Amino acid sequence: MCGIMGYIGTEKASPIISKGLKNLEYRGYDSVGVAMLSALSGSLEIRKGVGKVDDVQNQLKFDELDGNIGIGHTRWATHGTVSRENSHPHTDCAGKVAIIHNGIIENNIELKKMLLSKGHRFSGETDSEVIAHLIEDRMNSGDIGSVDSIGSVDSIGSVDSIGSVDSIGSVDSVGSVDSVGSVDSVGSVDSVGFVDSVGSVDSVGSVDSVGSVDSVGFVDSVGSVGSVESAESTRFGSCFEDACRWAFGQLQGSYAVLAMVEGADEIVAVRKDSPLVLGQADHGTFFASDVSPFLEWTKDVIYLQNHDFVVARKDSLRICNLIDGEVDRPVDTVEWSVEEARKGNFEHFMLKEIFEQAETIQKAIQQDREVVDRIVQMIQEGFGVFFVACGSSYHACMTGSYLMSKIAGVHVNVVLASEFENYEHFLTDRTLVFAVSQSGETADVLDAVKAAKRQGSKIVSITNVMGSSLSREGDELLMMNSGPEICVLSTKTYTSQVIMMVLLACALAGEDEDCARRVKELYMDVHNLTSKNMRERLRNLASLLVGKDHIYMIGRGLQYTTAMEAALKVKEVSYIHTEAFAGGELKHGPLALISEGTPLFVFVSRENEDRIISNAQEVKARGGYVIGVSDWDNPVFDYWIKVPDCGNLNPVIQAIPLQILAYELAVELGLDPDKPRNLAKCVTVL
């Protein structure tokens, strides 16, 4: 979903932002835009439009924008149609403040009403636009309440009134100020513009130059005052920060926000329940929704936490937490390489990622023994285990529940994260919830985790993205180790999740060594499945299926959950309606859908051979075209996809040819397999 990219530093920002936006494409989006602060004119320039990053940026010439400070955004429409007006960045009425936002502002209707009543004008229908107007509103109010201390300030613009201030450090320049209340002490001030009236001031350090001052109340002591000159042009950096801080405090919902204002060389940011990470290079600071957009510039990353508030300037970075105050966020090093996040010689990420699976499943099995042992103990000592996930991760969990039952004799409840609230009343402090999410940012999963935590349940997080929200939420963490998955569809991370389920079940049954050996042996099997021959065979099958409106898939046990995953892969990338059923359910309804030539995939294993073949025969008898996925040919098959029999690892082995088929279908249909329509890699809204 929406992607965020920002840069402030000494390099030209526009090519960095453009490239970052390109790298964010995989998250899914429908429009794109940038805001740059021109180094030449000092003005804020916004360019945005509907369409692909390449098309929009070529048309609007993002790269021509000068300046070292910029923000960029890819929007995935939630509130408001896909249009230029609704795309980000959004500005305030004056076009001086620019913001980009990922998440949902739940109280946007009330905020908009309030802002409209104060005369603000909106240009689009998004929930995000309120943020720019809130900042503007606060800046225009000129109202600064009581302040304990102000550190060093570059320049202050026009201010209506300042209440009481304990101490002010060094200030470079002050513009026009209507009135100042009581101030305890002022450090050194370079220049003061026009000031209407000053109340009582205890002590003033050295002041270089003062413009016109109408009236000064009682001043205890003044250090040295240099020449008295007229006011300079004014800027108010800290006022912007202050206004952002206030504006962010008004927001309810989820948000990662970057904000800029004309006249201040800074980017102000905040995150709550939406992803935002910082990259730190010698020449500047990057902001992004995840690490992949800035990997080629830096691997040094700061993972922000909820309510972290960031002020970045060219030569400084300040992070505080709006709840906890001062915080120290460590700089981590990302292990992913730039190459992993690039297509290399492959035509698409989807194909590359399918072909990586011989390696990635080996990495998935390499888990910290002590962590696995602790999780096993938690399952054994707890009462009630839930697997919670969405989409492909949910299918991996379904597979996991069969494996847990079959291998370890343990019962697991598998629940779609979006349905988890219906089970909340079963949760106790003895419940163990496995939250499984490739991205680690799926809002439904994070919401389920929150609910479980409220009841005191323990959480085991399984994710592929270090630093993601989920990776920080759990009592225990297992990483999938798949490397970046850029294609919107889960392929390698799905098989890694299944491997981790096998590992957990085997660890519970005390069969981990055997499990590790079998996964090792799987290397060649997976390698062979991604051979040229297999691809050609599946390409032929794809050409037979492209004209079909419906495809059905059946299996039993582990083959049923594999059929569910295969159906999801085919439908989401080819847009052909594809549905999976448990073999035994066919005659309870779905058989009515079968007519002459209807394609039916049958996933078979030695364990459930007789029953599933008889289901296939029922379909064949009604004119269906049967495609078998098994290790031996059967007369009922019209087409056979040969896979080895790998017992409990069949869900990995049988899923891979269907991933390839889904890919070939998309290519045959002229669709982009990496970015299916309407879908997003990171589903950060509920």
Q: Which amino acids are annotated catalytic? A: 2, 681
Binding residue for ligand F6R, selected from 173, 298, 461, 490, defined by CB under 6 A? 490
Return the number of the residue (86 or 481) whose C-beta is nearest ligand F6R: 481
Residue 433 half-sphere exposure, CB side, CA atoms within 13 Å?
Answer: 32
Return the number of the residue (128 or 684) whose C-beta is nearest ligand F6R: 684
Smallest distance, Å, CB 190 to ligand F6R? 51
The four Cα atoms 624, 625, 629, 631 give a dihedral, to 10 degrees, of: 100
Return the number of the residue (74 or 490) whose C-beta is nearest ligand F6R: 490
* 338-346: long-range pairs with CB below 8 Å, 24+: 338/295, 338/296, 340/483, 340/484, 341/23, 341/292, 341/295, 341/484, 341/486
Site string for ligand F6R, 203-232 (x = CB under 6 A): ------------------------------
Radius of gyration of the chain (CA): 29
Smallest distance, Å, CB 678 to ligand F6R? 12
401: which residues sit within 8 A by CB, 6+ positions away?
Answer: 387, 412, 413, 414
Which range of residues in 360-368, 386-394, 503-511, 520-528 is near ligand F6R by CB under 6 A?
A: 386-394
Cβ proximity of 4 and 256 under 8 Å:
yes
Instruction: List the one residue out of 478, 470, 465 whose CA is nearest residue 447.
Output: 470
Binding residue for ligand F6R, selected from 448, 508, 538, 683, defined by CB under 6 A? 683
Return the number of the residue (262 or 674) whose C-beta is nearest ligand F6R: 674
Smallest distance, Å, CB 359 to ligand F6R? 20
Smallest distance, Å, CB 267 to ligand F6R? 28
Binding residue for ligand F6R, selected from 35, 545, 568, 582, defined by CB under 6 A? 568
Binding of ligand F6R by 393 (CB under 6 A): yes
Site string for ligand F6R, 569-608 (x = CB under 6 A): ---x------------------------------------
What span, in angstroms and rounded, lies between the C-alpha atoms of 36 and 38? 6
Instruction: List the one residue out of 230, 352, 417 whose CA is nearest residue 673.
Output: 352
Cβ proximity of 318 and 266 under 8 Å:
no
DSSP-assigned states of every residue in 223-290:
--B----PPPP---HHHHHHHHHHHHHT--EEEEEEEEETT---EEEEEESS--EEEEETTEEEEESS
Binding of ligand F6R by 442 (CB under 6 A): yes
What span, in angstroms and rounded, lies between the C-alpha atoms of 239 and 396? 50
Instruction: List the one residue out of 427, 403, 429 whose CA is nearest residue 415.
Output: 427
Helix (H, G, I), strand (E, B) or coil at 486: coil
Return the number of the residue (67 or 275) whose C-beta is nearest ligand F6R: 275
For residue 344, the one-letter residue type is G
Return the number of the residue (34 or 568) whose C-beta is nearest ligand F6R: 568
* Cis-peptide into 657, omega within 30 deg: no
Which range of residues in 232-240, 272-280, 385-393, 664-672 is near ligand F6R by CB under 6 A?
A: 385-393
Sheet strands side by side (includes 458-463): 413-416, 385-389, 432-437, 458-463, 476-479
The four Cα atoms 338, 339, 345, 347 give a dihedral, to 10 degrees, of: -50
Binders of ligand F6R in range 112-171 (CB under 6 A): none
Binding of ligand F6R by 274 (CB under 6 A): no
Return the number of the residue (84 or 453) whose C-beta is nearest ligand F6R: 453
Helix (H, G, I), strand (E, B) or coil at 313: strand
Smallest distance, Å, CB 419 to ligand F6R? 14
DSSP-assigned states of every residue in 560-610:
HHHHHHHHHHHHHHH--EEEEEEGGGGGGTGGGG--TT-EEEEE--GGGHH
Smallest distance, Å, CB 307 to ligand F6R? 23
What span, in angstroms and rounded, lies between the C-alpha atoms of 498 and 649? 8
Binding residue for ligand F6R, selected from 139, 414, 445, 600, defined by CB under 6 A? 445
Return the number of the residue (28 or 211) whose C-beta is nearest ligand F6R: 28
Smallest distance, Å, CB 230 to ligand F6R? 59
Smallest distance, Å, CB 675 to ligand F6R? 12
Binding residue for ligand F6R, selected from 231, 295, 379, 489, defined by CB under 6 A? 489
Return the number of the residue (258 or 389) whose C-beta is nearest ligand F6R: 389
What span, in angstroms and rounded, lies between the C-alpha atoms of 305 and 576? 40
Binding of ligand F6R by 390 (CB under 6 A): yes
Binding of ligand F6R by 392 (CB under 6 A): yes
Binders of ligand F6R in range 401-440 (CB under 6 A): 437-439
Report the DSSP pairing between strands 550-555 and 476-479: unpaired
What span, in angstroms and rounded, lies between the C-alpha atoms of 51 and 54? 8
Smallest distance, Å, CB 192 to ligand F6R? 54
Which range of residues in 51-59, 391-399, 533-541, 649-657 is near ligand F6R by CB under 6 A?
A: 391-399
Binding of ligand F6R by 102 (CB under 6 A): no
What span, in angstroms and rounded, lies between the C-alpha atoms of 605 and 583? 13
Instruction: List the one residue out of 263, 265, 241, 244 whose CA is nearest residue 255.
Output: 244
Return the number of the residue (31 or 392) whose C-beta is nearest ligand F6R: 392
The number of helix segments (H) and strand segments (E) in the chain equals: 17, 39
Smallest distance, Å, CB 573 to ligand F6R? 8
Cβ proximity of 11 and 68 under 8 Å:
yes
Site string for ligand F6R, 527-566 (x = CB under 6 A): ----------------------------------------
Q: Scan for tokens 């003005």, then name that residue.
A: 43
Return the number of the residue (87 or 360) whose C-beta is nearest ligand F6R: 360
Smallest distance, Å, CB 314 to ligand F6R? 35
Number of residues that bind ligand F6R (CB under 6 A): 14
Binding of ligand F6R by 471 (CB under 6 A): no
Helix (H, G, I), strand (E, B) or coil at 121: coil
What span, in angstroms and rounded, lies between the C-alpha atoms of 92 and 123? 9
Site string for ligand F6R, 287-306 (x = CB under 6 A): --------------------
Smallest distance, Å, CB 164 to ligand F6R? 50
Return the number of the residue (489 or 498) whose C-beta is nearest ligand F6R: 489
Return the number of the residue (78 or 528) whose C-beta is nearest ligand F6R: 78
Smallest distance, Å, CB 565 to ligand F6R? 8
Binding residues (CB under 6 A) for ligand F6R: these are 390-393, 437-439, 442, 445, 489-490, 568, 572, 683
